[in-house]
């Protein structure tokens, strides 16, 4: 009976970890706006981001705003120097397959937004 309980307990723990992992993999970049802090070590990043060369391939078109008060729609990001107070943090990766989502940086504020 003990081995039977142990089997189901380990199966339950395994299912919890797999469910948590799959939830963590889903990211909706269309909701990301505001103050952003860039971290060097990707282990400490909330999101791993790949910068696309072309706008049409990106999940999110980002306009880099200087004043975070104007970051009121998706894709409007204001990079800050301190993690404290940032809405989220990112690390840029060199392999697209490792990223949670992709971005393209635009010079036109009107082009910022979701590409999905």
DSSP assignments along 75-104, one per residue:
TEEEE-S-STT-SEEEEE-S-GGG-SEEEE
Q: What pTM, to 2 d.p., does this model score?
A: 0.75
Max Cα–Cα distance, the chain, nearest Å: 66
CA distance 13 to 102: 32
Domain membership of residue 75 (yes or no) is: yes
What per-residue confidence (pLDDT) applies to 16?
43
Answer yes or no: is pLDDT of 4 > 60: no
- CA dihedral for 116, 56, 81, 97, sign (positive or negative): positive
Answer yes or no: is pLDDT of 5 > 90: no
Which is more confident, 34 or 4?
34
Containing structural domain, residue 98:
29-114
Total domains in the fold of the chain: 1
> Which residues lie across from 106 on neighbouring strands?
63
What per-residue confidence (pLDDT) applies to 58?
96
């Amino acid at each position: 009976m003990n081995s039977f309980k142990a089997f189901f307990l380990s199966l339950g723990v395994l299912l919890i970890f797999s469910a948590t992992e799959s939830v963590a993999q889903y990211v909706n970049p269309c909701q990301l706006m505001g103050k952003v802090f860039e971290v060097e070590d990707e282990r400490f990043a909330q999101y791993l981001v790949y910068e696309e060369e072309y706008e049409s391939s990106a999940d999110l078109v980002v306009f880099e705003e200087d004043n975070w008060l104007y970051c009121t729609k998706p894709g409007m990001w204001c990079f800050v120097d301190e993690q404290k107070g940032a809405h989220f943090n990112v690390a840029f990766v060199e392999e697209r397959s490792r990223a949670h989502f992709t971005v393209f940086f635009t010079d036109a504020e009107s082009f910022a937004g979701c590409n999905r």
